[in-house]
Structure 1
Amino acid sequence: MEVEYLRHGVPLADYPLTKADHRRQREAVQVHEWVQRQLAKAPPWSDKHLEEMRQLLGPPTPPWELQRWRLRLYCGHVIEATRNRNNPRPDGGGRDEERCPECGLNPAVIVAFEPLGPAAEPPAESRSLMSSRSTRQPPADRRSKAELVAENNALRAELEVLRDQA
């Protein structure tokens, strides 16, 4: 599946902040502060719990599954960031903010963005696996919806006969 990446504004051009940008930044700061307060109340995690979470999350995303983006942040700084290649926008999936590495503003909402390209090319064996996945045929033992409906109707009729006999 090929994703068509979107762009919003021109990160390298002058960008006048809008009322919506100011509102989103204010809301992001409020959410960030609330989360920090909740984390301060929470008991620390044990090493065992941290390891269980690492196991649950799995290995880090390989670089060939990441897309590079140029982002203009609320503070005006322009940075490069990576996101999952399946998202058409860098601010999708609940992550519409960054920590600015230049001024330290955290959070800094994304106000403009443009795609730059993949973070890395997949290794040769991954490319051949991905291309074979797209041409793969469904298993021979899979039945069509019509076949399943017919079998369901036959079983319902058989059940009615058995109920009448009882």
Structure 2
Amino acid sequence: MEAEYLRHGVPLADYQLTWADHGRQHEAVQVHEWVQRHVVQAPRWSDERWEQMRQFLGPPTPAWELQRWRLRLYCGHVIEATRSRKSPRPDGGICDKARCPECGLDPAVIVAFEPLGPVADPPPEKRSRKPSRSTRAPPADRRSKAELVAENEALRAELDALRDQA
């Protein structure tokens, strides 16, 4: 199921910053600075630790699971970005900022956005080519219906004979 993508602040070129945008940008800068101060103090990761993290994160997201967006950043620049197709918004409810490639503002809060379309079409579904029941050869340990019917009749006859003896 594909998300119904939202729009905000369209047309992007005419978007006027709100007090909420200024507040979100100020908060994003404070958080970014706090993280930078603490990352500098953290011990460096070994190559083994980086490899563990790569394995934990798994392979990169395939192109057909990505959505293209046009974003207006706090600095006023309009950029294109790719995000997961699962979310109806480019921030995905998690990251509402980006680094501006034009002026370098980092972080730059996303203030307006519009979807552009998927990065790629999904690959065609692979259909399994299992043979039908009628064309499959029965496994060696399976007996035919005629064999089972014959065995059933023989067992019933044996049961009747035992009942007659009793």
For the aligned pair, the TM-score class normalised by the smaller chain equals 0.7 to 0.9
Aligned residues: 128
TM-score (norm 1): 0.74
Residue of structure 2 in register with 1:26 after alignment: 26
**Alignment of structure 1 residues 46-65 onto 2, 5 Å:** 46-65=46-65
2:29 counterpart SS class: helix
Distance in 2 between residues matched to 1:79 and 1:55, nearest whole Å = 31
Residue of structure 2 in register with 1:69 after alignment: 69
Amino acid at match of 2:107: P
Distance in 1 between residues matched to 2:68 and 2:21, nearest whole Å = 23
Amino acid at match of 2:59: P
Cα deviation for residue 125 of structure 1 reads 3.7
Distance in 2 between residues matched to 1:19 and 1:123, nearest whole Å = 44
Residue of structure 1 in register with 2:147 after alignment: none
Rg (Cα) greater in structure:
2
Cα deviation for residue 13 of structure 1 reads 2.6
Contact (CA 8 Å) 1:11, 1:72: kept in 2 or not? no
Cα deviation for residue 48 of structure 1 reads 0.2
Distance in 1 between residues matched to 2:97 and 2:12, nearest whole Å = 18
Could you give the per-residue CA deviations for residues 6-47 of structure 1, whole angstroms, max 9, x where no partner exists? 010115332211100000000000000011111001000000
Residue of structure 1 in register with 2:133 after alignment: none
The RMSD of aligned alpha carbons is 1.5
Cα deviation for residue 69 of structure 1 reads 0.3
Identity %: 77
More helix, by proportion: 1
Contact (CA 8 Å) 1:28, 1:109: kept in 2 or not? yes
Q: Which runs of 5+ in 1 are unaligned?
A: 130-166
TM-score (norm 2): 0.74
Contact (CA 8 Å) 1:4, 1:88: kept in 2 or not? yes
